[in-house]
Every structure is written in C-alpha cells, then in structure tokens.
Amino acid sequence: WVDSACDAITKYSTLELEEFLNFVKGYEARQDNFYKSTFEEADLDNSGTMEAGELAEMLQKLGIEPMSHVLDEVIREVDDGNGELEFKEFKHLMDLLVVREGFTSSEYDSYVELFNHLDPKKSGEISDEDIRTILKWLTCSLPEAVLQEILNETDADGSGTISQREYLRCLRKIREHELELVRQALGDQEQLPKEQVTHLFRDLGYVLWDEQAIAEAAQEAQIQEDQ
C-alpha cells in the first residue's frame, strides 16, 4: 500500500507537504478498499453484515490472530448488540486492532502509561534499555538472545530508540512468542498441569509474564486445572 500510494503521486524518493497529504489520502483509500473487499468476501449472502462468530476465521486468513479475550472485547465495543457487524462496525474493529496492536483497551492504556513514565520529556521515543526496564516491571524474563531478536525486528533502523507504536509491537511480539512456546511445550499431550508448564519454562530460562497467553493456550489444549 505504501509503495503504490507513493508511486501514484511522485516518481521521486522524497515528498513535499502537499504530496504527503495526497499520499495519506491514497493510503487510506487503499486501506478502505481492502477492508471492503475483505468484508464482502465474508458476506456470502450479500446481506451487508457479517456474523461476529465468523470474524475470527476471517481474520486468521488475513494473518491476524488476536487472542480470544481481545477479539471478544472489540466486538462488544463496535457491535450494536445484534450479533452482526455492518461494514462501518467492521472497519472500526479493524482500526482498534491495529491501533492497540492486538491488546485490550485496559492493556493498551496500562502499557502506554508505562511508556509515558519513561518518556518524561514527551519525545515520543524510549531506548532499548527502557524496554528492558518495563519488562522487569512486568516480571517478564526472556533469554537475552530472544529479546534482542525481537528488539532488532522492532527497531528496524537500528537507532537504539523505539516509538510508542514500535514499543507496543514489541510487547505484542513477546506475547506471541510466549503463546507459541506454550503451544510447543504442550505438543501432543492431552493433559498437563498448569504448574508444570510454569516450571518447565523456568528451567529453560523463561519467566512467562502473560497469564492470559498461558490461559488461552491451555484452553486450546484442554490443560487440566491444578487440583
């Protein structure tokens, strides 16, 4: 979308103000067209609505896999209560998922508050070391190699600082990493006490911080509750 929107207004590598404003309009138009075509593809009966229950499957096809408690919340936020989403509601839902990087409203607010605490000058950026400080506050412990890989992916220009959006993306990648770890640890086992999952990861050098990730992975695999 970015390249096509730029190519439509200039052949040069830099943009003047008016060109930039046109770029934003072009980008938003392409995004809206994408949302509309995706919505219409899911609206098999041409009713102009999509059942909320079908949304997760459609998002998965797009490579978007928000955790179930996040998806449940944003559906409640945008749905007028009839259990079906009109295009306007669907577009609002997609915008919320993008802006919050797949977190709930309360999670988003708490993470932004932590970011602002370490950005007292309101520069809009914090350092990689600040990320490590936040992770300590969240009692999240990852092997350094894993954390550095995630930071490298997030801080694409290698500046050593990340914006608020990049910071939220970093936390999302950590959550996805932990969720995948739990899934891998479970393997084909039908039952495994939750306490055993925690001990297993501590032995590997991990301290999982996202209890919701563990809970949802456990639900997927039908892990037994501790007795």
At a CB cut-off of 8 Å and minimum separation 6, what does 36 contact?
87
Q: 66-70, 111-115, 144-148: which range is least confident on average?
A: 66-70
Check residue 55 and report its DSSP letter: H
Query: What confidence score (pLDDT) does residue 5 get?
Result: 47
Query: What confidence score (pLDDT) does residue 160 get?
Result: 86
Q: What is the mean pLDDT of residues 120-142?
A: 89
Tokens of 38: 């995706």
Calculate what percentage of the chain has a pLDDT beyond 90: 31
pTM: 0.70
Tokens of 226: 């501790």
Res 218 pLDDT > 80: no
Assign 109 to helix, strand or coil. Answer: helix
Whether 147 and 205 have beta carbons less than 8 Å apart is answered as no
Mean pLDDT of all residues belonging to the chain: 79
